[in-house]
Chain A
Amino acid sequence: MTEVLLSIEGINKRFGGLHALSGVGLTINKGEIYGLIGPNGAGKTTLFNVLTGLYQPDEGKFTFQGKDLFRKKPNVVVESGIARTFQNIRLFANMTTLENVMVGQHVRTKTGVLGAVLRHPKAKAEEEAIRLKSEGLLAYVGIADRAEELARNLSYGDQRRLEIARALATNPTLLALDEPAAGMNPKETDDLKKLMEKIRADGVTILLIEHDVKLMMGLCDRIAVLDYGKKIAEGVPEQVKNDPRVIEAYLGVAPE
């Protein structure tokens, strides 16, 4: 039985005269890996930013687990259970790897100024739990040995992993990854694929933007295709791959 986790309907987003998204609707089911593809400039990242609260859509409906998230701030979206990574890595570069993940748990913890200053048993326990969970997450994505390193000094692949660990620290129901394999070599891409399958197996639904079509076809349960701000196809990979409109969008039409 499939259970709808996220659904959007008729999302419109304009930047001045540019109609970046027009009437986009889609549903993501619980437990699946949902892919989003499309040519450059199709509006994938715009849609992604709408789904994570970074952009406020002009019109449309956006519900997540029955909760209305239309035009909500990013921190509210995260609190509801959607976490993201960035296409152009945006770590807290001058914080350590461990601290980056600890920041991710901000939204799930409570200690305020008084707790921080007095460091009463409850605050102390919470701080300890944050540290333990963060160390656990670093091990989970496989960079436990870099915990005390500044994030800026990590290798590119490790920075991508750290972004995923930081996003997982917010206890998401839906993890949204914006081109996580960009700039990775085949070995790193393969490791990343395994990591995503592990995350899904642990009960987190994944929304994925990626250019690597081979990776997407092998990994995703369902795929949506965007072109010029419109959804032109949606379905299982096989179906999407053979859709004439998708082929047209990517390759153009053969002259008669």
Chain B
Amino acid sequence: MNALLMENNRKNTILLAVLAVVLAVLPWALGGFFENGNSWLRAVDFALLYIMLALGLNIVVGYAGLLDLGYIAFYAVGAYLFAILNSPHLQAVLPAWLSHPPFLVMMILAAVVAGIFGVLLGSPTLKLRGDYLAIVTLGFGEIVRIFMNNLDRPVNITNGPQGINNIDPVQIGGYDFGRPIEFLGLTFEKIHLYYYLILAFCVLIIFVSVRLQNSRIGRAWVAIREDEIAANAMGINTRNVKLLAFAMGASFGGVSGALFASFQGFVSPESFVLMESIMVLCMVVLGGMGNIPGVILGAIIVSITPELLRDIINPLQMAIAGKRVVDPENLRMLIFGLAMIVIMLVRPAGLWPSKRRRAELKPKTKDIALQEKDSLQDAERNHD
């Protein structure tokens, strides 16, 4: 048993080492393989941002079982916070100590502020479940976006639909991430630097996710998802534990949003539409709710596939018809949607489901009978 565990450990270590090397050379490999390597690297950077978002939403939806359709709001909060504190837009009115905070302080701030928003938006929804919760969170998500869109009057905070631009790139230890840095004979451009920066945060968030999952807190979340009344009757303060799920999920979104703002150099309300919330939810569901590797896989697939299709459809059309028949943008979403439907039909528990979820969607007949009996007794009990 111990020998087996050691063997497994060694295997995992080797696997991790290989993965680390691959990730480290990825930007250069992309540049070597593709002509437009930098646009691919950009897609990878965005995929990493989406992984963080998906892992955050996974806490709320996958563990605690709270269907949140407005999750992108927390991404927006992180992004706007970074934009306001790190751009010329509000420099004149911001107190000096608050403008351009040191990078780590900024990231902690983004996580905390987004977490507070998570609690604020989560607390009115505590008594809601399922569809009702989904509708209310959807509303909150839109409210946040509409605020961003309209907070240019009477006091200009968000600069309205025009968004905030000229956001300064990150500065760490005197290095400006906006300019190329020479190191070991290699030139690290902005896009490379951000790749490593975002990757580092992504690894951190994966680590936090794994640790939380296998803890007292993680178990309490899953217990609430399984049976909220029983969880409460076993001594779990369901209100606080649910709020904690909202806060943790939101803080992941805030970190991702702050990195997004500084990478992009520009934020506007358009980046935070409902479709984005749905996309992140798709990543979680498609990959496998509640399973960290599954969610990561889902995020990569959902964010990279459209880019992949864009690069394939045009040349394909040219080769077959000799001209552009349809706009690739339209076809891309069509194919993407079809692919999602097929995957959900073939693998309803997600591409890489957790043990739990797999069992859940393949109930044995005995279990179904038991559940029916349960709900019958529930109905009886309510009459008692």
Residues of chain A whose beta carbon lies under 8 Å from any beta carbon of chain B? 20, 41, 43-46, 52-54, 73-75, 78-79, 83-84, 86-95, 99, 102-104, 106-109, 111-113, 115-117, 119, 123, 126-127, 130, 150, 152-153, 166-167, 169-170
The residue in chain B whose Cβ has the minimal distance to the Cβ of A79 is: B235
User: Are A106 and B381 closer than 8 Å at their CB atoms?
Assistant: no
Nearest chain-A residue to B359 (Cβ)? A150
* Distance, CA A95 to CA B235, complexed state (A): 17
Residues of A within 8 A of B36 (CB): none
Q: Contacts of B229 on A, CB cut-off 8 Å? A: 54, 90
Q: Which residues of A contact B235 (CB under 8 A)?
A: 74-75, 78-79, 83, 104, 106-108, 170
Given A45-B384, A75-B232, A170-B234, A92 and B223 contact (CB-CB distance below 8 Å) = yes
Contact between B216 and A130, CB atoms less than 8 A apart: yes
> In whole angstroms, what is the CA distance A108 to B374 when docked?
29
Asked if B378 is an interface residue, CB under 8 A from chain A, the answer is yes
1/0 contact string of B254-274 vs chain A (CB within 8 Å)? 000000000000000000000
Tally of contacts, chain A with chain B, CB under 8 A = 128
B211 touches A112 (CB 8 A): no
The answer to whether B384 touches A93, judged by C-beta atoms less than 8 angstroms apart, is: no
Once the chains bind, are A52 and B233 in contact (CB under 8 Å)?
Answer: yes
B374:A111 contact, CB within 8 angstroms: no
Q: How far is the CB of B62 from chain A (nearest CB, A)?
A: 12
* Interface, chain B (partner A; CB < 8 A): 207-208, 211-212, 215-220, 222-223, 226-227, 229-238, 244, 248, 355-357, 359-360, 364, 367, 370, 373-374, 377-378, 381, 383-384
CB-based contact A73/B232 at 8 Å = yes
Q: Supply 5 further A-B pairs (C-beta < 8 A) apart from A54-B233, A106-B234.
A: A78-B233, A79-B235, A92-B231, A113-B217, A169-B234
Given known A74-B232, A75-B232, A116-B217, contact A92–B381 (CB-CB < 8 A): no
Report chain A residues within 8 Å CB of B374: 88-89
Q: Which chain B positions have C-beta within 8 A of A90?
A: 227, 229-230, 233
Contact among B233, B357, B360, B367 with A74 in the assembled complex (CB-CB below 8 Å): B233
Name the B residues within 8 Å of A109 (CB-CB): 216
Contact B220 A106 (CB under 8 A): yes
Contact yes or no, B236 A117, CB < 8 A? no
Cβ B211 vs Cβ A103 within 8 A: no
A75 to B215, CA, bound (A): 19
CB-nearest residue of chain B to A172: B235
Contacts of B233 in A (CB 8 A): 52-54, 74, 78, 84, 86, 90
- Residues from chain A with Cβ under 8 Å of B215 in the complex: 111, 115-116, 123, 127
Q: Are B381 and A87 in contact (CB under 8 A)?
A: yes
